[in-house]
Amino acid sequence: MKKFTLIICFFVALAFIMTACSDKANLTSSPILWKDIKSGMSFDEVKAMYPTAELVKEADDTNKVEVLLFDGVIIQKENFLVQFVFEDKKIIGVSLYPKNEFKGNIADELFDNLEEELSQKYGSPVEENSDRINLLYDFKRFVWNTQGVIIELYYKRARFSTDISTLYVYYLAGTIEKEDNL
């Protein structure tokens, strides 16, 4: 009977250890930044997943940042370029931006559609900013915070239809903590 009790205790202890390890693994697992790219993946892992991506910025002695550029993503019927940003050979972020230049109402429509799509996927933004930069440009910025990833939609809108607008979507590992002033 004593042997049976020891075996039961062993399996109960093993179950507790396995559960604790499993929970710890879930807490420390890398969040998915974009599509199938997890935070902390190596340069070689990402390059293997996107073999046509080109190295557009190499790390050097003063700057440990490298950038891979991938061409071939279509979002809202528009061609986008994807930048995979690495620091010390580990991915720290992904940014997407239109391959083509946009002006006026076309840029506005693309921004509005992206904001709606991101809101449907991630819920209401945790932060919204808009302001005039100068006489030529206004900007809008929306930020979502979900599952260990910060998603930022940035839009620099040209005030005149002849000027080019800028639009980016950033995916970065991390969370935004709101101040509790109450």
Is the pLDDT assigned to residue 59 strictly greater than 60?
A: yes
* pLDDT attached to residue 179: 57
pLDDT tens track for 155-164: 988 777 777 8
The whole-angstrom separation of Cα 81 and Cα 70 is 6
Of residues 51 and 102, more confidently modeled: 51
CB 167 within 8 A of CB 102: yes
The whole-angstrom separation of Cα 158 and Cα 146 is 30
Mean pLDDT of 129-155: 89
Domain boundaries, the chain: 1-28, 32-173
pLDDT-derived band at 180 (thresholds 50, 70, 90) equals low
pLDDT-derived band at 11 (thresholds 50, 70, 90) equals very low
Residue (of 89, 52, 93) closest to 70 by Cα position: 52
Is the pLDDT assigned to residue 118 strictly greater than 70?
A: yes
